[in-house]
Amino acid sequence: MPGIPAGSVLQQITRACDQIASESTSELRIDDGALQAYANALDPAEVRAAAEQSRLPIRFDNEQSEVNLMALQRLLDFGSGYEPLLAAATGRSARETMQFGVIGLHISGQALDAAFLGGLSAFALASYFGFPAQQDSQLQPGIYISRPGPLAGLSERMRAVLHGAGAALASAGVADLGALVLQLVDARRSSRQPVNAAALVTALAEAVPGFADYAQWRGQAVPLHRKAAGLAGDLAARFGTEDPRFAFADAADLPADSGNALQAPLRYLGILRLSEPLARAVDAGEDMPPGPQETALRAAAVAACARVAAAAPGGVTAHQVGAYLLARTSGETGLPPGHLTRDTAAY
């Protein structure tokens, strides 16, 4: 890759992903014929509706409280590499596990602030989020000792992400993630700078380590910032018609989700085709370390959704296409899996 494409960070993400997908044809390819046929059949109104933010059935004291919960959910929107282990232990997916824990903490009245995030232990997190991080091992008959279990790596990564967030909030002098988000958008308004999604994504990635997300490709760090972009989309959908601070003029530039979830519907529809060796590795559930293959898979999903949006009628966006694909194929039988990468807090 000769360089990171110019433009806003959101445009950089989409263009870089398209370039990576085009350079990865030995591993995967986007089937233009299948893509065009799918795009032609889309109903724009249904696609746009899929990206609308449904309100959580929770009472909030104020907007900051709701933004804080939304931001914390996005910050912890990872663990997909542990999905088979979580399903076996709890019956829940990674996203359901995180939502279960965050909402439970909110309902309990716990202040989800910098001090709380910075003081959590990995053991406490596993307890709050309802999965076993420890397992008992028998030393000799009648004598057992607790040791880290298969999910201990997930609880430890959650602890690191939340401790990093707590430290970042303390450094910024704000109480919680909701206060940080509002401070970031207010600062741009007060300085008469455009308040847009790209600026918020950049600021979040710079302020909170857990929102920064870079993939390595041919010696360069490529920004993907999946969770920060996802939060910007959530905020625009939830508050864009109520609060001008979140009526982002560049919301159409938001990319599709760059985790592993979109690979399933894209492969199912024949839009994304993997080489035989890569398909075998993904389908077998092998743990894929961060690297060229993992980056190519993430990038191909973003690129495919952007190309569908460009080819579809009615001016839909890549972000909306991604949300629609996930909503329409949820619960489908026969979906191929997405790749599994445990060594990441990005997805």
pLDDT single digits (tens) 15-62? 999 999 999 999 999 999 999 999 999 999 999 999 887 787 888 999
pLDDT higher than threshold 90 for residue 284 = yes
pTM: 0.94
Whether 4 has a pLDDT exceeding 80, the answer reads no
User: Which H or E run contains 136?
Assistant: strand 134-140
The answer to whether 241 touches 262, Cβ cutoff 8 Å, is no
What is the helix (H) or strand (E) element at residue 217, kind and residue range?
A: strand 214-217
Q: Which pLDDT does position 5 carry in this prediction?
A: 59
* Distance in angstroms (rounded) separating the CA atoms of residues 318 and 151: 33
What is the pLDDT, as a whole number, of residue 321? 98
- Asked whether residue 161 carries a pLDDT value surpassing 60, the answer given is yes
pLDDT of 138 over the 80 cut: no
pLDDT tens-digit map of 212-233: 999 999 999 999 999 999 999 9
* Choice among 200-209, 316-325, 328-337 with the minimum mean pLDDT: 328-337
Domain boundaries, the chain: 9-134+145-329
Q: Which two tokens stand for residue 141?
A: 């008959």
Q: Cα separation of 95 and 77, whole Å?
A: 6
The arithmetic mean of pLDDT across residues 76-94, rounded, is 97
- C-alpha–C-alpha distance, residues 71 and 176, integer Å: 10
**Res 277 pLDDT > 70:** yes
CA distance 73 to 65: 12
Instruction: Write the CA distances from 342 to 69, 220, 269, integer angstroms.
Output: 25, 22, 26
Q: Which burial class, exposed, middle or buried, applies to 150 when counting CB atoms under 10 A from its CB (0-12, 13-18, 19+)?
A: middle
CA distances from 50 to 96, 235, 281 (A): 19, 15, 31
- Give the mean pLDDT of 97-105: 96
**φ and ψ at residue 220, rounded to 5 degrees:** -120, 150
**pLDDT tens digit sequence for 249-267:** 999 999 999 999 999 999 9
Is 1 a residue whose pLDDT tops 60? no
What pLDDT is stored for residue 142 in this prediction? 80
The whole-number pLDDT of residue 147 equals 87
Cα torsion 200, 205, 207, 209 to 10°: value is: 150
Segment 326-340 shows an average pLDDT of 90
Whether 139 has a pLDDT exceeding 80, the answer reads no
Lowest mean pLDDT among 63-77, 189-203, 221-235: 189-203
What does the pLDDT read at residue 136? 79
